């Protein structure tokens, strides 16, 4: 079992729809959760982080965390073609103080005009 | 804030030569820097973790004598690909970590290496 799992996609949604990206993790002691966006040919950029159970909203993005079920998700409202990218879920393992992250393989999102 | 630069952005070299890639945190001091490699259509692969003033910790399967890492200061780490071969052609990305910055990694723009 991979430590952090994501559906590789591609996930295709029409412009204006809600895109839902999911991630599950195996380490129950994980404390911090991050979503990165990576455009083709570019490096990842941090778009959201969440530490506590529940929802966290930032503009069109909402991160959801459920530690009991060990999943974290990212919702993108009013999806735009510019949101087309690969979204990487990353998790900090328990006890890790050195910044190491465990990355999922990423979900490719395609927003169709 | 949390800006990380890499230089060069792109390099083409002949097989057998060495290539040095620099990673700098521009507006913060990074306690740790990470080096990743990414092949087309594949996920990030962590190569090594680098702390200022100490030896890098390499991931399993990564040759430490081939990928030399030097972390001279809290704002600079370098990766040298020694005796590069075509199979080393890849996208190399560094990231920097500082505890006070959301406890996560901030990535440089990456260096695309092509070995002929």
Per-residue pLDDT tens over the stretch B82-94: 999 999 999 999 9
HEC letters along chain A:
CCCEEECCCCEEEECCCCEEEEEEECCCCCCEEEEEEECCCCCCEEEEEECCCEEEEECCEEEEEECCCCEEEEEECCCCHHHCEEEEEEEECCCCCCCCCEECCCEEEEEEC
Query: What percent of chain B has pLDDT above 70?
Result: 99
The residues with which A48 forms a beta bridge, in sequence order, are A35
Q: Per residue of chain A (113 residues), what is the pLDDT tens digit?
A: 679 999 888 999 999 999 999 999 998 888 899 999 999 999 999 999 999 999 999 999 999 999 999 999 999 999 999 999 999 999 988 777 678 899 999 999 999 99
- Cα–Cα dist B19/A74, whole Å: 38
- The confidence band for B75, taking pLDDT boundaries of 50, 70 and 90, is very high
CA-based nearest distance A80→chain B, Å: 22
Query: What pLDDT was estimated at residue A20?
Result: 97
Question: Are B109 and A42 a contacting pair at CB < 8 A?
Answer: yes
Query: What pLDDT was estimated at residue B98?
Result: 84
Mutate to test the interface with A, among B43, B48, B74, B110 (most CBs of A within 10 A): B43
The answer to whether A109 and A87 are in contact (CB under 8 A) is yes
Is pLDDT above 90 for B103?
no
CA-based nearest distance B42→chain A, Å: 8
């Amino acid at each position: 079992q991979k430590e952090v799992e994501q559906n590789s996609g591609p996930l295709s949604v029409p412009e204006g729809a809600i895109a839902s990206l999911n991630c599950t993790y195996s380490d129950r002691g994980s404390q911090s959760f991050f979503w990165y966006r990576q455009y083709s040919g570019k490096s990842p950029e941090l778009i959201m982080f969440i530490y506590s159970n529940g929802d966290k909203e930032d503009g069109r993005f909402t991160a959801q965390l459920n530690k009991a079920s060990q999943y974290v998700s990212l919702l993108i409202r009013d999806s735009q073609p510019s949101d087309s990218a690969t979204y990487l879920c990353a998790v900090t393992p328990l006890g890790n103080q050195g910044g190491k992250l465990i990355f999922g393989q990423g979900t490719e999102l395609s927003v169709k005009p | 804030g949390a800006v990380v630069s890499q230089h060069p952005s792109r390099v083409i070299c002949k097989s057998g030569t060495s290539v040095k890639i620099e990673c700098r945190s521009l507006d913060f001091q990074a306690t740790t820097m990470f080096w990743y490699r990414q092949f087309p259509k594949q996920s990030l692969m962590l190569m090594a973790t680098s702390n200022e003033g100490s030896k890098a910790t390499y991931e399993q399967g990564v040759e430490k004598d081939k990928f030399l890492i030097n972390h001279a200061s809290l704002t600079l780490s370098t990766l040298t690909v020694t005796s590069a071969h075509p199979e080393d052609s890849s996208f190399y990305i560094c990231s920097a970590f500082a505890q006070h910055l959301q406890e996560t990694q901030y990535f440089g723009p990456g260096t695309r290496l092509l070995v002929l």
